[in-house]
Amino acid sequence: MKNYDSTLTTAKCTPGKHSADFSSIKITAEKGDVIAYDNVDFTGAKCLLLEAAVCPKSARTIELYIDDVSVENKIGVVYIGGIDFDFSQYYADIPLILGIHRLIFRFTGHTELEADFFKLSSYTGSETEAERASRMKWWKAAKYGMFIHLGAYSYLGGEYLGKATD
């Protein structure tokens, strides 16, 4: 999560341990704590996507602001929840914002989570059949495929320290 501004951040951020590639950030926050990111380009964005694993005892909302925490700069709310540290995707619709701004996540209560990533997107989770058909036509023509291997090896982050057997 580049452009992280540690000088404005009041939430406690440490390395996470639950994401598949061990690149998540563990966040422990109390009501009013913030995490700030500078130089975020909002061009074309309609929503914010946050992939995170949330502790069930956490507050259920994170407020989003641009530039500073003030009523007129509130741009959305991320509604979070889930099973104990099970990664899920959470979306927040945001208004049309032009240019580059500071993005601030403000916590509404005690929150513990591991954030794997966030991104701004023009996709809002809804599309017409024609839009879907067009997207799928491109995807099929590209002949793109992906093999995902999940198991003990992937959980260990690519390292296997097993004992050799005869």
CATH number of 71's domain: 2.60.120.260
Is 79 a member of any domain? yes
Query: For residues 137 and 127, which has the higher predicted lDDT (pLDDT)?
Result: 137
Q: Averaged over 56-69, what is the pLDDT?
A: 94
Which two three-digit tokens encode residue 82?
A: 């889930």
Q: How confident is the model at residue 11 (pLDDT cuts 50, 70, 90)?
A: very high
Q: Which residues of 69-96 are buried (b: 16+ CB within 10 A; e: fewer)?
A: eeeeeebbbbebebeebebeebbbebee
What pLDDT does 156 receive?
54
**C-alpha to C-alpha distance for 56 and 134, rounded to whole angstroms:** 39
What pLDDT does 98 receive?
92
How many domains in the chain? Answer: 1
**C-alpha to C-alpha distance for 54 and 83, rounded to whole angstroms:** 7
What pLDDT does 162 receive?
53
Average pLDDT, whole number, for the chain?
Answer: 84
Is 60 exceeded by the pLDDT of residue 163? no
Is 163 a member of any domain? no
Residue 121 burial by CB count (10 A; 0-12/13-18/19+): exposed, middle or buried?
Answer: middle
Task: Give tens-digit pLDDT for 77-125.
Answer: 999 986 666 788 888 999 999 999 999 999 999 999 999 889 998 876 6
Is 150 a member of any domain? no
Is 144 a member of any domain? no
Is 87 a member of any domain? yes
Is 143 a member of any domain? no
Residue-number span of the structural domain to which 47 is assigned? 4-127
Is 12 a member of any domain? yes
Question: What percent of the chain shows pLDDT beyond 90?
Answer: 46
Is 81 a member of any domain? yes
Q: Supply the pTM of this predicted model.
A: 0.74
Task: Give tens-digit pLDDT for 13-41.
Answer: 999 887 777 788 999 999 999 999 999 99
Is 90 exceeded by the pLDDT of residue 66? yes
Is 80 exceeded by the pLDDT of residue 50? yes
